[in-house]
Amino acid sequence: MATIQFDLVSPERKLASVAASEIHIPGSEGDFTAMAEHASLLTTLRPGIVKVVAGSDVTEYVVTGGFVEVSGTAASVLAEHAVPKAEVTTDIVNALVADAEEAAKGTAGAEKDVADKRVADTKALLELI
């Protein structure tokens, strides 16, 4: 099976660099799967789970936002915050929710709508862990 190079980095560390058969990504315009020979794409992430399939291994990462660039041979995720799902606790997600709520304070108009959606998406992470 063809593979695509996958790299996941956050400001704190590089979390993954593997040859994957598929990568499930929570894009801001909807979830999508990147595979070898994917059309080039640059988009933003929404809070959610990035799922990486490499051979028989499946690894999941909780991300709170950021950017993703996909080409036919590589997918790079630059996450604002990223943690392997196996390491995520309710306390971590609650802290991420508090950060999103703090960032939403003082926003107005369309910016408030985006901030409120981000808070809701971050709260939804509690159901996914």
Q: How far apart are CA 50 and CA 123, in angstroms?
A: 16
Q: Hunting for tokens 């593997």 — which residue is that?
A: 18
- pLDDT for 35-67, tens place per residue? 999 999 999 999 999 999 999 999 999 999 999
Residue type, position 41, single letter? L
Residue 31 pLDDT: 96
Domain-wise residue ranges, the chain:
4-85, 88-128
Tokens found for residue 39: 């059309």
Q: How far apart are CA 11 and CA 23, in angstroms?
A: 21
Residue 127 pLDDT: 84
Determine contact, residues 90/126, Cβ cutoff 8 Å: yes
For residue 94, the 8-state DSSP code is H
Q: Hunting for tokens 């369309």 — which residue is that?
A: 110
Mean pLDDT score across all residues of the chain: 94
Residue 18 pLDDT: 98
* Pairing verdict, β 82-84 and 74-79: unpaired
15 falls in which pLDDT band (50, 70, 90)? very high
Q: Classify 21 in phi/psi space as left (phi over 0), alpha (psi -120 to 50) or beta.
A: alpha
Query: Domain 4-85: what homologous superfamily?
Result: F0F1 ATP synthase delta/epsilon subunit, N-terminal (2.60.15.10)
